[in-house]
Amino acid sequence: CPGKVFRTDALDATHTPVFHQVEGLAVDKGITMANLKGTLDAFARAMFGPEATTRLRPSFFPFTEPSAEMDLWFPQKKGGAGWIEWGGCGMVNPNVLRACGIDPEVYSGFAFGMGLERTLMLRHGISDMRDIVEGDARFSSQFGTTSLGRGL
């Protein structure tokens, strides 16, 4: 489900205090980190093509255990090619399952959240997130609209 996220991040080329995120959650018997990685890799290939290159880095999020950040290789990054964080993910913390009335001895799950502005950056070779969020019609008109929220 997509929605707005509010954080205390400073505005720079790859961060903004308000951004949009799409989240996913899967809970069933036998779900593993391999299922999460496979799902995210399939999502990346669907969004960016069959050559999309990803990696997971260990991280911490209170509702997942273990937690990771997924990075994508970004050839147009300022200063040359490099990895850019696409989103956070992990296995649903057993305490979260328990709080929802789900037995973590029987069920497991994964969760992820991917930033839509970062997705636009990666998909369209945009090197600075501020170009997306500052609302400059000269920038957004190249996408067939004066608002990146429509017409993509």
Dihedrals φ, ψ of 60, to 5°? -135, 130
Mean model confidence pLDDT for the chain? 86
What tens digit of pLDDT does each residue of 84-95 get? 888 999 999 999
The pLDDT, as a whole number, for residue 149 is 52
Q: Under CATH, which number does the domain 20-142 receive?
A: 3.30.930.10
Cβ-based burial of 35 (10 A; exposed 0-12, middle 13-18, buried ≥19): middle
pLDDT higher than 50, residue 152: no
The pLDDT, as a whole number, for residue 151 is 43
Q: CB of 92 within 8 A of CB of 25?
A: yes
What tens digit of pLDDT does each residue of 8-56 get? 888 888 788 888 889 999 999 999 999 999 999 999 999 888 888 899 9
Domain boundaries, the chain: 20-142
